[in-house]
A and B are shown apart, each in its own frame.
Chain A
Amino acid sequence: MLYRPESLDAALALMAEPGAVLLAGGTDVYPALRDGMPPDRMIDLTRVADLRGIALADGTWRIGGATTWTDIVKAELPPRLAGLQLAGREVGSIQIQNAGTVAGNICNASPAADGVPALMALDAAVEIAGPEGLRTLPLHTFLKGPRQTDLQPGEIVTALLIPDGPGRGAFLKLGARKYLVISIAMISAVVEIGAGKITNAAVAVGACSPVARRLTALEAQLTGATAADIPALCAKADLSDLSPITDVRASADYRGEAVPTLVARTVLTAMEAPHVA
């Protein structure tokens, strides 16, 4: 049975009976079936109007959970969110971007989720609706491990909340081919510039730890840095929070070694880009 509620309340009511699988773009739900049968009960969230759309209110960008990557890519957003838009363009393919949603990306909780580093670098929070009402928690708290989140039975991710602000974002994905590729590593950075120096920096790394991580020590060191300082700072960055593994895509050593290079390039891209507010 496929339920297609048109309001959040209706969706939550359907969730009250356990065992249903939430469906939006289907880009993770169906591949996970391998070639097996769909679950008996699925709740399609794509017709819940409040779950889709991007809006700025009271200094916070609210991206509805069922907003597709194409919606994000095509939206008029400030340079600060450019990394998120670039990440959206790297999600799978046009077909996947047209269907896949931002909430689906974080709920799938893949260590290689393309959207997560960009959202983390933007200090995104997750808005969740459940039987007890709304709650909000930081994305890095929401993501607990590979395929593990803080989402409780009966709950639905309703939005990602991103503080508005100055600066410019960037995103780099490293893979073994151009399209439809799972990352070896990826970086998102948001930097604010004053008088040619970084006044604030956020850097997140994906696919190099069970959950994407912010490089907080490096972020502190980047404050006050000029473009010329970036490569050296990144080369000696403390990456001890990362724990890259060897898999079919690359070796652990390679990942560990590529990260500083990728971080430097991402930060420099964000710095060099025009329109830094």
Chain B
Amino acid sequence: MSLDEPQGHLSLVLNGAKITVPADATARLSDMLRDVAGARDVKVGCNAGDCGACTVLVDGDPVCACLTAAGQVQGRRVDTQAGLVEHDDIAQRLAKSFQRHQAAQCGICTPGMMVSAVALLRTGLPLNEAVVADALGGVLCRCTGYRKIIAAILDVSSDADPQAEGSVGERTARLDGWPKVSGAERFGDDVAPADALTVRAIRSPFHRAGFTFGDLDAYRARTGLDLILTAKDIPGDNLFGVIPGFIDQPVFAVEEARYKGEAVAAVVGPAALLDTLPPFPVTWDERPANLTPAGAARAPLLHPDREANVMCRGHVARGNAVDAMKTAAHTVSGAFSTGFIEHAYIEPEAATARRVGDRIEVQCCTQAPYMNRDGLAGILGLAPENVRILPTAVGGGFGSKLDLTAQPYVALAAWILNRPVRMTYTRGESIATSTKRHPSETWMEIGADAQGRIVAARFQGTFNTGAYSSWGPTVANRVPIHASGPYLTPNYVADSVGIHTNTASSGAFRGFGVPQSSVAQEQLYDMLAEKLGIDRLEFRRMNCLQNGDPTVTGQVFDTGMGIDACFDALKPDWTRALAEAKAFNASHTTVKRGVGVAGGWYGCGNTSMSNPSTIRAGVTPGGEIVLHQGAVDIGQGSNTVITQIFAEALCVSVSQVTLVGPDTDVTPDAGKTSASRQTFITGNAARLAGEALRAQILRLGNAGTGATIAATEDGLTVSEDGETRRIALPEGTPYALEVVESYDPPTLPLDENGQGSPYAVFGTAAQMVELEVDLDLGTVKLLRFVAAHDVGRAINPTLVEGQIEGGIAQGIGLALMEEFLPGRTENLHDYLIPTIGDVPDVTSIIVESGDAHGPYGAKGLGEHCLIPTAPAVLNAIAHASGARIHHLPATPDRVRAAILAKAKT
């Protein structure tokens, strides 16, 4: 060892500065950098080298800091994202390019991506996509689909500045982007104070088990723990959930754990103490568990009031599907299934709580601050006003960060101990216990007349909702409304059921069940088109909904039903791709090319429910324009989109607006970041707020409606007729002028047959994919996507493209590789998500059909992006190989088995 450092210290050159820090040389370098050296731009996503978020340069070479011993960098040079962007010309150019291309969405993988890219760029190798992919293959991203990251690296030599300004329709750079590309962003685990105690949950190792505790007081005294928490320590209700009537999940299980990973207790103390605890005094009594809906009717009830373990059902009926099906000239039917899908955001769940007098404050990565607030208030027995939620940056959500995870544990501990308390899930804990996409078992029959017009469709879907309800009722309700796809279906019946099993809860995941039903419906559409001898795109085009057509709930849109335009937009590429595939296949025997297409639709906002958003804005006495924007930006871009809408309505540039984020003490409830509702609903509230504030300002300035408003260093000014004058603002704290505006989309309840107007807006999409199937191995190589999306109006086209590309990447995962198996794939090397080499080129075609309700005609689009992807891939596999995949994912062994089965028939 070097003699230069005091015992137990390490010296290294961190980001150009020599530092000597106290550190355990066997500790992971990532922990040392974050906790001791303060380099919190080094992100920990898996602690196993599977995600690459912690990538740093050691003497110039990229390595995973989580796999490096701190002592191994003694005397060496370590560079992290923040240091590189501060000191390195290449990294500075790269950061600008990332901003230009919006290559960071949530930003949690950005440090790993940029550090890896700097190492590549320093080699001076000629750049192309393959070289970039090889260099970045070790870093996982769950948001972007990688395409904009590749584009940003290839464009690093450009001197162009990111676009700082922009009204509605412009490619304004992310307003919250610079912290993400410079390393300054702070996520859930990054904000914990150094003196915070740590909570760790004691979780069931069995899918179902009774349990009894030993002497917890003696254990606590013996170990020196600050606190042990169990159900009896909860001052309020030991229950949380998200849907009224389905609040059924305990913070700590009582008597029986219902799934593997369920918390039964928690220990609180300094992290170093928790690392060395003796076994927790709990005795498990493993009991027979039921993991699938098939056994649920005979299994013991998970919830005594839910007969046959049925959580709830959904139903939509229109016309008479059974009778109409008998009149069909052609029918097709089939059974399909999909497995649990893990959200696999690269940022694990994290929260920090502190007690402030008789209030509790919780910093956490969340998609739903107000819902979290109300949930914690119930658990703690406090009034909601006494709970404050301060969202941090969110490193990916996709639905699972709507539900409470770490928040109750830290809040309870901080409340009882009156000390700050932190908790961050391990990757294994995150995968084992967070909500999942519902596994589905679907059956569908579709009939058409001799000309190819759909006459009827019947759908049945069984969804494994796991041990607790979470968002299961939403899936059960949404699926029957959407299972027809965006097609005119005059006779229709769809039934869904959510079943409890001894698994982690299924909840919200981008699309709420619609991607699963789409796998059945869109594959059957291909089979029906084949029977009819009609081109598959043409078949969809002739049956798709148009303005004036009733949906399966009888809702009629007079404007904005743009799926026909989406299909039309694909036509040139479709024709080209089919011809190219035909030519390719004529000269190849082992590898065959296929082309697939699918449509999709999704209703924006909550189903037949009031779901308002509120926006607050003001002008300070000094003339600063402040927007309280509570729509949590989980990477999708609401900080930018909502500000663009507000600025447009106020008629100012976005740079003149100061953003205040979602803090439940100062920013009103903009609802949940889910259901593709923020652009549409919060966007409308922002538009109303902008208009109202503009009216106040013009009235105060005695100016006409055409006047220009500007926030200047001298205060607020209005200009009209070539004359500019400063407005005398009244006193006010904090605002001289203030507006609060809300928007709630017009919906109507559904009757007993599911007829009504569940959503004010549907967004639609059509995607096609070209791919190759290796017939001998069953492997699939994706070549290209073309995606046409009707977004009504693109507030920010680059953000729209980012959503499309990211949604397609998740759809690829659903189609080809992802399946969570409880107890077996609880890490990111057994649970596979697409890497940078698995997402091909995506051409986005933005269709703008407008919308009667959306702000400036804009609709939501987050969920729509992945709905058509998986069925398009499966249809292309069938086109290439003749093999129809009914049970996902289409891994090489399943595709090969389907090819062999097809050969036998």
Contact = CB atoms under 8 A, between A and B. Distances in A.
B64 A178 contact: no
A70 interface: yes
A254 B897 contact: yes
Contacts of B837: 177-179
A45 B295 CA distance: 53
B45 to A, nearest CB: 12
A95 B138 contact: yes
A191 interface: no
A108 B794 CA distance: 52
Contacts of A26: 67-69, 72
A37 B275 contact: yes
Interface string B824-839: 1100011010111110
A70 B61 contact: yes
B461 to A, nearest CB: 26
Nearest to B119: A94
A228 interface: no
Given A23-B69, A34-B428, A38-B69, A94 B893 contact: no
Interface in B851-905: 891-893, 896-897
A250 B275 CA distance: 36
Given A176-B891, A178-B838, A254-B897, A248 B49 contact: no
A1 B428 contact: no
B163 interface: no
Nearest to B51: A180
Contact of A38 (B27, B138, B824): B27
Given A35-B47, A254-B893, A258-B777, A30 B137 contact: no
Contact of B52 (A30, A93, A178): A93
A25 interface: yes
A128 B423 CA distance: 45
Interface string B299-327: 00000000000000000000000000000
Interface string B51-71: 010010000011110111101
B69 A95 contact: no
B276 A44 contact: no
Contact of B67 (A4, A42, A99): A99
Contacts of A180: 50, 52, 137-138, 140, 829, 835
B898 to A, nearest CB: 11
Interface in A156-193: 174, 176-182, 184
Contacts of A178: 133, 137, 835-838
A36 interface: yes
Interface in A235-270: 248-251, 253-255, 257-258, 261-262
Nearest to A27: B67
Contacts of B67: 25-27, 29-31, 95-96, 99
Nearest to B812: A177
Nearest to A264: B776
A92 interface: yes
Given A99-B63, A250-B893, A42 B134 contact: no
B48 A31 contact: yes
Given A4-B74, A44-B72, A179-B836, A174 B777 contact: yes
B428 A35 contact: yes
B379 interface: no
A94 B829 contact: no
A27 to B, nearest CB: 5
A94 B135 contact: yes
Contacts of B26: 1-2, 38-40, 42
Contacts of A249: 891
A22 B463 CA distance: 48
B48 A30 contact: yes
Nearest to A39: B26
A20 to B, nearest CB: 11
A98 interface: yes
Given A4-B1, A46-B72, A95-B62, A176 B892 contact: yes
Given A2-B25, A2-B71, A34-B428, A254 B892 contact: yes
Most buried by A among B27, B777, B829, B835: B777
A261 B74 CA distance: 48
Contact of B116 (A44, A94, A99, A181): A94
A31 B827 CA distance: 10
Contacts of A93: 49, 52, 137-139
A251 B66 contact: no
Interface string B79-119: 00000000000000000000000000000000000001001
B28 interface: yes
A248 B825 contact: yes
Most buried by A among B427, B428, B891: B891
A112 to B, nearest CB: 10
A254 B778 contact: yes
Nearest to A24: B72
A238 to B, nearest CB: 20
Nearest to A33: B47
Interface residues on B, range: 35 or more
Contact of A96 (B119, B138, B821): B138
Interface in B401-425: none
A171 B618 CA distance: 65
Most buried by A among B50, B67, B135: B67
Most buried by B among A37, A93, A178: A93
A92 to B, nearest CB: 7
Nearest to B44: A35
B426 A35 contact: yes
Contact of B835 (A1, A94, A177): A177
Interface in B783-819: 816-817, 819
Most buried by B among A40, A181, A182: A181
A184 B896 CA distance: 14
Contact of B66 (A30, A177, A181, A184): A30
Nearest to B50: A180
B230 interface: no
Contacts of A35: 47, 426-428
A180 B816 CA distance: 16
Contacts of B427: 35
Interface string A83-111: 00000010011111011000000000000
Most buried by A among B28, B69, B426: B69
Contacts of B469: none
A1 B116 CA distance: 30
B465 interface: no
A184 B892 contact: yes
A174 B134 contact: no
Contacts of B440: none
Contacts of B819: 248
B366 interface: no
A177 B69 contact: no
A30 B67 CA distance: 6
Interface in A65-86: 70
Contacts of B71: 2, 4, 44
Contact of A31 (B49, B138, B893): B49
B777 A98 contact: no
Given A31-B49, A98-B62, A184-B892, A42 B69 contact: yes
Contacts of B72: 2, 4, 23, 26, 44, 46
10 contacts: A2-B69, A29-B67, A31-B50, A93-B52, A94-B138, A98-B63, A178-B837, A179-B837, A180-B50, A181-B832
When A and B form their complex, which 8 residue pairs have the shortest distance between CB atoms, in order from nearest?
A93-B138, A178-B837, A179-B137, A254-B893, A2-B25, A2-B71, A38-B26, A31-B48
Interface of A: 1-2, 4, 23, 25-27, 29-31, 34-40, 42, 44, 46, 70, 89, 92-96, 98-99, 174, 176-182, 184, 248-251, 253-255, 257-258, 261-262
Given A89-B134, A174-B892, A180-B835, 16 more contacts: A4-B72, A26-B67, A30-B48, A35-B47, A42-B69, A44-B72, A93-B138, A93-B139, A94-B134, A95-B64, A95-B67, A176-B816, A177-B832, A178-B137, A180-B50, A180-B137
